[in-house]
Structure 1
Amino acid sequence: MMRPETRDRILTLGIAIVLTAAKPNAAHASYGECGVPDAPCKLESGEYYVAMPEVLDDPPAVIWLHGYGRSGKAMIQNAAYVDPFIRRGYAVIMPSGRPSINVKDLDWGVADGYDLERDDVAFINAVRADAVDRFGIDPSRILIAGFSRGGSMAWDIACQAPEMARGFAAAAGAFWEPMTTECDAPVHLFHVHGFKDRMVPFEGRELTWEGVDFHQGNVMKGLDVWRRENACLGSAENSFGDDGSMQKDWMDCAAGSIRFKVTKGGHGVPEGWRDAVLDWFEALP
């Protein structure tokens, strides 16, 4: 028959093993299912979704901002977006936008002359802080990236709150008009745009949405803002990809850096872009 003290030691050891195995979630027990696939992490101002890599000790993270009409939940279920980051050891954080002017599709409060109810720069900052606290994200290795309207939101965050991330990356989305002329500090920015993009044309365009007039900004005009802010006023280093893409790198800047890539495609995220962005991000000084 087992002695009481032996039984107590085994019971204590068993409890310790269970608690150790549950460590990533135990600290966040009050958040219910947050962090479990498809379960939202809820904040007062909105929600976000998370996919974690296998290594949970202070992982870097990508905060991905979806395009118009999508959601954090839809994006966290999209393996094409999530898996390339997870394989590289990054946590993936997918916030959800807020209802747009048509009160149906989710959108971001991009600086375009029309204000949504929520301050999305403040919201993403709250998401960042909450994810760092809940999941042990390394705050010094955060990349904020986005596509289309999410890419424009990434530009606005970089301009208004550059301290939020080590680097910013956008695909097919830049500043809207009325375009800012000043930003708070230099940044590291990687922007990719399709030369044939008709949804967000390279040269910008005017459009009317639900009776409201908008003006997408000229991408090169926006890049001039970043060149001034980063003091990247010299010539860029030019390179060409085997896929017909063209790339300009402004690395000899007073602070920050700019990588600008033009592809032959249209409105989308180019194949291999996520790994290219992570290679760039990990090589930042």
Structure 2
Amino acid sequence: MPLLRLFAIALFLQLSSSVALACGPEKNCPIGDRFYRIAMPEGHDGTTPVGALVWAHGYRGTATAVMRNGNLRRMVSDAGLALIAAQGVNGSWNLPYGPRTFDSTGAAEFAYFDSVLEDAEKRFPIDRNRIVASGFSAGGMMVWNLACSHPAKFAGFIPMSGTFWLKPPQSCTGPISSIVHIHGDADPTVPLTGRAIGETKQGKVIDALAKYTEFGGFNPSKPSKPGGLTCQNRRNANGKILEFCLFSGGHSFRTEYLRYGIKRLRAAGQI
């Protein structure tokens, strides 16, 4: 084979490999038949390891839309974290007791998140010890399932306006994690006391908190009122935190509340 042709083939393979690796905020990072998107902090040097916030979108959401949320990206970047936007199947998460996934164990989603983290850590300088999972609405439900049933690869969790479908698992899986749950006190979409949807229902937020309080050996709560939130703060003997914070309003997401969750996990030494 002529030398020039061999050179051309080698160059093509090198360029193809570079293109395949060039995923980010505007291009999907493929994971089997799914994908994720990622944005490193603004001005990142490309080599220094950073923590990451893995975001689970709400019902019918997309990773693309998450990356187009300038306020969210800016806030996560200012916190010195990479933003990893996970993508559900057809905008939904395969969770136990869900309306279309009642018999699910969540295993498919847990495997997907494992693959996302493994892939992101290979492609980008992600510090695997400083990865937080957060999400809003249905994404908050995904986060609670990760926290209780698949916590090992995360440093902490910030579920927002979402909880388990129907009821929490009978028991949670270790290690015990830090959780900051944030919710509107008049949420009509995911009410604090749950609501029926089809043949199932959204669970009660208080049931999730009670289950994790028992599991983690958390002390009685202490009240606080930081920046528009009314919180009940718990801590266990190992310094893990379990916080339940309400804001006045309905089913809405505000970056300052997520910022508070990140701040609390950081103060507790989780990230």
What is the identity, as a one-letter code, of the residue corresponding to 2:212? W
CA distance in 2, matches of 1:258, 1:178: 19
Matches for 1:168-179 after TM superposition, within 5 Å: 168-179=157-168
**1:239 and 1:246 in contact (8 A); partners too:** yes
The RMSD of aligned alpha carbons is 2.0
Secondary structure of the 2:129 match is coil
**2:168 and 2:211 in contact (8 A); partners too:** no
The equivalent position to 2:181 in structure 1, one of 164, 182, 191, is: 191
TM-score by length of structure 2 reads 0.85
1:257 aligns with 2:212: no
What is the identity, as a one-letter code, of the residue corresponding to 2:96? A
CA distance in 2, matches of 1:159, 1:241: 26
> With CA pairs under 8 Å and 6+ residues apart, which has the higher RCO, 1 or 2?
2
TM-score by length of structure 1 reads 0.81
Residue 258 of structure 2 aligns with which residue?
274
271-280 vs 41-50, which deviates more? 271-280
Secondary structure of the 1:60 match is strand
Give the Å deviation of 1:47. Answer: 0.3
Residue 38 of structure 1 aligns with which residue?
26
**1:231 and 1:254 in contact (8 A); partners too:** no
1:224 aligns with 2:210: yes
59-68 vs 248-257, which deviates more? 248-257
Secondary structure of the 2:165 match is coil
> Which protein shows a greater Rg?
1
CA distance in 1, matches of 2:65, 2:179: 26
The equivalent position to 2:96 in structure 1, one of 97, 105, 111, is: 111
**Aligned pair in 2 of structure 1 residues 140, 271: CA closer, same or farther (>3 Å)?**
closer
Give the Å deviation of 1:242. Answer: 5.2
Give the Å deviation of 1:275. Answer: 1.8
**1:230 and 1:254 in contact (8 A); partners too:** no
Unpaired segments ≥5 residues, structure 2: 1-14
CA distance in 2, matches of 1:141, 1:196: 33
- Tell me the alpha carbon deviations over residues 225-279 of structure 1, each in whole angstroms, 9 at most, x when there is no partner: 10011111x3211112453x31011013456320110111110123511221221
Unpaired segments ≥5 residues, structure 1: 1-25, 100-105
CA distance in 2, matches of 1:254, 1:200: 32
Residue 223 of structure 2 aligns with which residue?
238
